[in-house]
A and B are shown apart, each in its own frame.
Chain A
Amino acid sequence: MSGSSARDRIHQAIIDGDDKMVVGAVEEAIEAGVAPLSMINEILNPALKEVGDRFNKGDMYLPELILSAEAMEVAVKFLQPHLEAREERIEIPGKVAMATVQGDIHDIGKNIVCALLRANGFEVLDLGRDVPAATIVAKAEEFEADIIGLSALLSTTLPYCRDTMELLKEKGLEGRFKVFIGGGPVTPEFAEEIGAEYGGAHAEAGVTRMLRAQGRG
């Protein structure tokens, strides 16, 4: 069937981050009778995972990771009505609200974590850089996040991570979210001191820890 060549093309489109090609190939596969959920689980997810793994090895770069995740989003959006028609739902490991904290404009690390989380199936809300604690908490609630990810690269923005933890406590939301923190000056000791989880030295470690926290991997 043309399903197998469509399968290759979907895979390639995700690797190439080609959102036009991916829609064409997905459409073709649907027409060939491939079930939407198995397309996601057996073709799209593994392709995106491959991109993430290649990034971790240094063979692919951040923009390629972003483009692949964007192509994935387009494909899933296209498949959504097909899933709904069959009353099927995509299983995701969890929802993460990510932010670079107030005062900090170092956002490359956070962007990498966001992209790699998406590559591993997480739904991610990227709140951007220089984000105050109150905004982070409000948006995480609204998004119904499982995890809040905080990124801080300056010793002088670490206090804003503490603020976020305090605010969660004050609002009685402690335990509602798992909070991971990462970035240059963050140490496991500091994370423990403020009651957060240490995210690890790089995005790969961070994603592994978050997967584990969600009972995966």
Chain B
Amino acid sequence: MVVDLMEVIRRTESGPFVEERDFDIEVIFRTIKDLVKKYGIEYQHQQLITLDPQMADAAFNAGLELAEHAGMYCVDTSRVIKFNRQELLYGLKAAPRELRVGFGKDQRTLRASVWGKLERPFIWAGFSGAPLSEQDFRQSIRSYIKEPLVDALGHGSLHIIDGIGVRTGSPMEVRATRQELMYVNEALLREGRPGMPYVAAESSTTALGDLATMHPDFMAPGNFHFVPTLNELKVDYQRLTKTMAAYEYGVYNINLVDAIIGGYAGGPEGAAIVTIAAFILGLIVHRASVSLCHPAHNKWVSTSPPESIWAENLVGQAFARNSPIINIGDVWTSAGTGTQDILYEIAAITITKTLTGNHPHGVGATNGKFPHGSGLDARCMAEVAHAVYNQQLPLEQGNEIVSGLVEKYEHKFADPDIGKPYPEVYDVASATPQAWWLEIYEDFKSEMENDFGLKL
């Protein structure tokens, strides 16, 4: 049986006591350094999509070994929640491989990817996580729902309500999260896709916001919210509260894992291994139905730098080959909407994710720093993912395309083209892209076909 949630709570109280500094350095850093060596895992700039399946298997085994050795650290009690290998393997075995989500004509099936079998990608779209004003939120959300290839929604958060700034942990967090859900429900109805599944309560930065929306008037059961794993392999009472509340109410938990490349896990190899361990542990600690991969470069943050692309590729293949679970991956760009660069970044990340077993989730334009995102970003992500699927793109060819795309933008991270705010790239009334923005996209499509052989 999977270790139950009450037992997890018990272990936050009874597990071994460790100072946080020692967990970060002695446990995480040193163990991962040894595992990278032991399993011979090595970042390859020339092969951002790993063509050697043994490397993915090695990464999986390293991640499993790390999960068993390290466990998950509870910040509030300074104790480690530990699991033996059997418990971890059982967690993997019991993880869902398929979820029926949404209802009516908008119902979809979200599947775990199996290596060597390229299935229809599940497109999870929105300006995920981006802090927006009420007006920007209401206007821009429509542009994502309108996109026909989009299967599920995941839009931004609200940082100001009725002119009052929303503070984390204050009563305004409750107000913001409820208002967010009101806008989500309104927009889905308005665009005629009432049964579209969504991840929401993104304005919930503590457990307050989540708790406030767990009522059918706001977030209906059967939808999703995020429970982040703290860096690296850590959890706290706020996160566990989110898990407990959703688990009992019937909302699916998404384990949000942002391993930092250059952080406690070390380089891209370590980021991949720690993400794999976090996914395995999250199945038990977070009761995760879905695991979200977002290796963030410590300087550039987005998921488009080559180290980040490589790490997510390895994580995806590791699970797809060894123990398929439902993985999604963040499509986070440094560039903003309305630019050519954002399209290159989206394409490179999306091709990698689709080929390696992570359904694309995004687009987090400018990493959510500026309100510069639009539905056309998501269209690009969706059409690229579907093109990869329709053409049954081989890994080798995918690798070549991704390398070509990365070359186009990798020197621009220090000073990315941040593009424009939504009302400047879209006609707000009709929620359709401005002609010039559409033209940039059409040019990009031709380029993808002519230069890279990928027909969107």
Of B1-9, B108-116, B145-153, B260-268, the stretch lying at the interface with chain A is B260-268
Chain A's closest residue to B167 (CB) is: A159
A103–B167 contact, CB under 8 A?
yes
CB distance from B139 to the nearest CB of A (A): 18
Contact residues, B154-168 vs A (CB, 8 A)? 157, 159, 165-168
Contact at B262–A105, with CB atoms within 8 Å? no
Judge if A185 is at the interface, Cβ distance under 8 Å: yes
CB proximity of A71 to chain B, nearest CB, Å: 12
A66: chain B residues at CB < 8 Å are 25
Name the residue of chain A whose CB is nearest to the CB of B307: A58
> Which of B167, B176, B368 counts the most A-chain CB atoms under 10 A from its CB?
B167
The complex places the Cα of A159 from the Cα of B262 at a distance, in Å, of 29
Asked if B299 is at the interface of the complex by the 8 Å CB criterion, the answer is yes
Please give, as numbers and ranges, the residues of chain B lying within 8 Å of A202 by CB-CB distance.
299
Beyond A154-B168, A156-B166, whether A184 also contacts B367 by CB under 8 A is yes
In A49-77, the 8 Å CB interface with B consists of 55, 58, 61-63, 66-67
Note all chain A residues with C-beta closer than 8 A to B299.
58, 202
Query: Please, which residues of chain B bring their CB within 8 A of the CB of A159?
Result: 165, 167
Interface contact A112-B167, CB-CB below 8 Å = no
Partner of A67, one of B25, B176, B414: B25
B3 to chain A, nearest CB (A): 25
A102 at the interface (CB under 8 A from B): yes
**In the assembled complex, which residues on chain B have CB atoms less than 8 Å from the CB atom of A157?**
167-168, 205
A102 to B165, CA, bound (A): 15
A103 and B206 contact, Cβ closer than 8 Å, known pairs A61-B262, A184-B301: yes
Are B264 and A155 closer than 8 Å at their CB atoms?
A: no
Q: Are B266 and A63 neighbours in the complex by a CB distance under 8 Å?
A: yes
| Residue B24 interfacial (CB < 8 Å) | yes
Which residues 23-38 of B have a CB within 8 angstroms of A? 24-25, 28-29
Nearest to B132 among chain A residues (CB) is A155
A158 contact set on B, CB distance < 8 A: 165
A74 to chain B, nearest CB (A): 14
- CA–CA, A22 and B368, complex, Å: 44
A35 at interface by CB-CB < 8 Å:
no
Q: Are A63 and B298 in contact (CB under 8 A)?
A: no
Question: A163 → chain B, closest Cβ, in Å?
Answer: 9
A137-165 CB contact bits vs B (8 Å, 1 = yes)? 00000000000000000111111100000
CA distance A159 to B29 in the complex (A): 34
Task: Give bound CA distance, A183 to B228, whole Å.
Answer: 19
Q: Is B313 an interface residue (CB 8 A)?
A: no
| A155 to B231 CA separation, bound complex (whole angstroms) | 20
Does A108 make an interface contact (CB < 8 A)?
Answer: yes
CA distance A158 to B260 in the complex (A): 22
A101's nearest neighbour on chain B, judged by CB, is B168
Nearest A-chain residue to B28, judged by Cβ: A63
Which residues of B are found within 8 Å of A197, using beta-carbon distances? none
Chain B residues within an 8 Å CB radius of A61: 29, 262-264, 266-267, 270
Bound-state CA distance A105–B165 (Å) is: 19
> What's the interface size class on A, roughly?
20 to 34
Chain A residue with Cβ nearest B166: A156
> Does B119 touch A at the CB level, under 8 Å?
no
Give chain B residues whose Cβ lies under 8 Å from the Cβ of A18: none
Query: From residue B447, how far is it (CB to closest CB) to chain A in Å?
Result: 30
Least CB distance, A175 to chain B, in whole angstroms: 26
Contact check: which of B25, B157, B236, B263 meets A108 at CB < 8 Å? B263
Residues of B within 8 A of A185 (CB): 131, 369
- Chain A residues with Cβ below 8 Å from B25 are 63, 66-67
Q: Which residue from chain B places its CB closest to the CB of A163 in the assembled complex?
A: B167
Chain B residues contacting A55 (CB-CB under 8 Å) are 262
In Å, the complex CA distance between A155 and B213 comes to 20
Residue B230 CB within 8 A of the other chain: yes
Q: Contacts A58-B262, A63-B24, A156-B167 given; indicate if A103 touches B369 (C-beta within 8 A).
A: no
Q: Is B169 an interface residue, CB under 8 A from the partner?
A: yes
B267 touches A160 (CB 8 A): no
Chain A hits for B301, CB < 8 A: 184
Is B205 in contact with A103, judged by CB distance below 8 angstroms?
A: yes
B167: chain A residues within 8 A (beta carbon): 103, 156-157, 159-160
Inter-chain contact B260/A108, CB cutoff 8 Å: yes
**Which A residues lie within 8 Å of B131 (CB)?**
154-156, 185
Q: Answer yes or no: B173 CB below 8 A from chain A CBs.
A: yes
Most A-side CB within 10 Å, residue of B165, B267, B298, B369: B298
Residues in B whose Cβ lies below 8 Å from that of A201: 414
Nearest Cβ distance between residue A73 and chain B, in whole angstroms? 13
Contact B205 A154 (CB under 8 A): yes
Known contacts A63-B266, A67-B25; decide if A108 and B206 are in contact (CB<8 Å): no
Give Cα distance in the complex from A66 to B29, angstroms.
Answer: 11
Q: Interface 1/0s, chain B 240-271, versus A by CB < 8 A?
A: 00000000000000000000101110110010
CA of A155 to CA of B168, assembled, Å? 9
Name the residue on A nearest B209 (C-beta): A156
Determine the residue in chain B with the shortest Cβ distance to A152. Answer: B168
Q: Which listed residue (B29, B176, B206, B368) contacts A63, Cβ 8 A?
A: B29
Contact with B along A176-193 (1 / 0, CB 8 A): 000000001100000000
CA distance A159 to B166 in the complex (A): 8
Contacts of B166 in A (CB 8 A): 155-156
Given pairs A103-B167, A108-B263, A160-B167, 15 additional interface contacts (CB within 8 A) = A61-B270, A62-B260, A63-B25, A63-B29, A63-B264, A103-B205, A103-B206, A105-B230, A108-B260, A112-B298, A156-B166, A156-B173, A184-B301, A185-B131, A185-B369
The 8 closest A-B pairs by CB, nearest first: A103-B168, A155-B131, A63-B29, A155-B159, A156-B168, A103-B169, A61-B266, A156-B166
26 A–B contacts from the bound complex (CB under 8 Å): A55-B262, A58-B262, A61-B264, A61-B266, A61-B267, A62-B260, A63-B28, A63-B266, A66-B25, A67-B25, A103-B206, A108-B260, A108-B263, A154-B168, A155-B159, A155-B166, A156-B131, A156-B157, A156-B165, A156-B176, A156-B205, A157-B168, A184-B368, A184-B369, A185-B131, A202-B299
